[in-house]
Structures are given as structure tokens and as C-alpha cells.
Amino acid sequence: MAYLARRTGQALIVLAVAFTATFVLLQALPGDAILIKFESPELGLSPDQIADIRAAYGADNSVIEQFLHTLTGFVVGDFGYSVQYGTAVHELIGAALPGTLALAGFGFLVAVVIAVGLAVLSTLAPFAWLRSFLRSLPGLFVSVPVFWLGIVLIQVFSFQLRLVPVIGADPVQGLILPVLTLAIPISAPLAQVLVRSIDEVQLSPFVAVVRAKGASPARVLWRDVARNAVLPTITIAGVLIGELIGGAVVTETVFGRAGIGRLTEEAVRNQDVAVLQAVVVLAALVFVAVNLVVDLVYPVLDPRLKRKAVAA
């Protein structure tokens, strides 16, 4: 219980630091969203009109005032307005989040399935050449650019073979290609770590004992090796959240999907500070939460860690 409280406290500190750092960094950037939107020559506004707008948005208040204003807003769940769209940030995020959650969630699941499939096959497949070929696949997957992969999948499966539409797809159809695009590069590090730890566990003495007792390779893998090999893979899975978010940015843009990634990309392009601030804090929240879950799952899988946690 104390462990949980301490880890939660740490998580809150991480969030506060992320918030402050983002605020400072965004302030340090040249220009601001109002400059980009309203001073752009395209609107043809006169200097007086622009001065009025800056005053109306409070853009020329002191940094401290702006910080306190933003912070109190965040604490009560008010993330302000996007200057680019004019829309409330919580509305933009609310509209974008489900799409990204579905994409990232299924993307991760499919990545796990691919990774486990590769790891199992590369251990159990009949021929040595086939096993070594399967082992080389993650290296290939990890080096495929998400952007390129997305376009190739669309060109082939949607435009040439016409199996799934990209435009006017129903929610399920609309997920198939983006999920694959995201899953393939994410599966690579998972598979690599899983294969390596299976190898290591295979070499440990207790496995030799089980083998000597006459167990089949499949039984050894499932009953004895898998459980031990999965720990490092879970650690990597936690770290992959970052990559999942990065992959979502590209995937959502290529497929024209609504989502946090696309929203972020646009906010960066227009230096829409309110949106960026909210997205960074949200991302930090997800990252912290996932790592918290990973830490809490560890002791369940490995009782030795539970003893340590209690002792500490």
C-alpha cells in the first residue's frame, strides 16, 4: 500500500515537472499562436487591429501571470482554447482521443501477437535456415519507416487490390491498415527482446534439467521458458508507449484519421500552445500510468521482486 502511495506521489511530481518544462519551453519559442494566426499577412489586418486582438487574448500579460492562469486552469480541468481552431482544447482532445486509443490499443495488441508469433516460430520452426530467417525479420521491421509502410499498404490493399477503402471506411475497416502500419514497427523490438531472453532462459541450468527429463521443446518453451522470458519484454512494452505515440502521429496523418497524433502535428505547425501544453501533460500522464502498471505487475510475475518491494 505504501509502495503504491509512494509510486503515485512520484507520478504526480513527474506530471508537475512535465507541465512546467513544457510551459517554459513553449514560452521560449520564437513567436506565438496569435502572431502566427492574426499577424500573418494573409488576413491583412492593420497593426491597431492586431494590438486589440493581442490584448483580448491576454497574449502580452507577464509570463508569471500566464503560467498561473494556465496552471489553475489545468488543476480545474480547463485547458483553454486552441487559437488555431478557436475550439476549447478539452473538446478537441475529447474528439481525438477515442480514435487514438483504438489505434494505439489495437496496434499494440497486434504487435504483441506478431512478436510472440515470431518468437515462438523462431524457436520451434523445423529448419535451421527458417529459424534464422524468422530471427532476422524484426531487424527488417524496425527499419521500415512508418510513413512509407502506411503508403505502401494503402496503395496495395486499398487502391490496387481494393480490399479495404481508405475514404468512407466503416470504423472496423478504417482500423485494419492503420493498425498494421503501427503494429509492424512496434512488434520488432518486442520480438527481439523476447527472442533474446528465450535464448538466455533456454541456456539456464533448470531448463537443461527439464530437458533431461525428456520434455518436448514446445513444452519446455510454454511451461518453463516463457514465464521467465516475458519480464524484460514487459519492460520494453512500457517504453514502447512513446513509440506508439510517435507512430500514431505519422499513421494518423497518412490515413487522414482524427486523433491526438494529428492534432499534435497541427498544433506544432501552428504553435498552438494551449493544445501542445494539454497534449504533453496527457502524454506524460499516460506514460506515468503505464510505467506504474508495469511496476505493479512485476511483483505478481516474479515473487522475488515482491519481497524486495515490501522490504524497501
**Footprint on this chain of another protein (rule: CB under 8 A):** 29-32, 35-36, 38-46, 49, 52-53, 56, 81-82, 84-88, 91-92, 95-96, 121, 133-134, 137, 151-152, 154-156, 158-162, 165-168, 253-258, 262-263, 266, 268-271
In the bound state with another protein, the residue whose beta carbon lies nearer, of 84 and 233, is: 84
Distance, in Å, from the CA atom of 256 to the CA atom of 273, rounded to the nearest integer, reads: 23
Closest CA to 270 of 46, 45, 66, 29: 29
Nearest approach, Cβ of residue 260 and another protein (Å): 11
CA distance 55 to 67: 17
Q: Of 287, 249, 284, 255, whose CA–CA distance to 269 is shortest?
A: 249
Whichever of 121 and 290 has its CB closer to another protein, that residue is: 121
For another protein, give the closer residue by CB, 200 or 266.
Answer: 266
CB contact at 8 A, 36 and 271: yes
In whole angstroms, give the CA distance from residue 276 to residue 207.
Answer: 51
Q: Provide, rounded to whole angstroms, the least separation between the CB of residue 29 and another protein.
A: 5
Nearest distance from C-beta of residue 190 to another protein, angstroms:
16
Q: Residue 127 carries which DSSP code?
A: S
In the complex with another protein, which residue's Cβ is closer, 96 or 288?
96
- Give residue 184's identity as a one-letter amino acid code: I
Q: Give least dist CB 298 to another protein, A.
A: 32
3-state secondary structure of 283: helix
Nearer to another protein, 47 or 214 (CB): 47
CB 139 to another protein: min, Å? 14
The set of residues, in sequence order, having a beta carbon less than 8 Å from that of 128 and lying 6+ positions away, is none
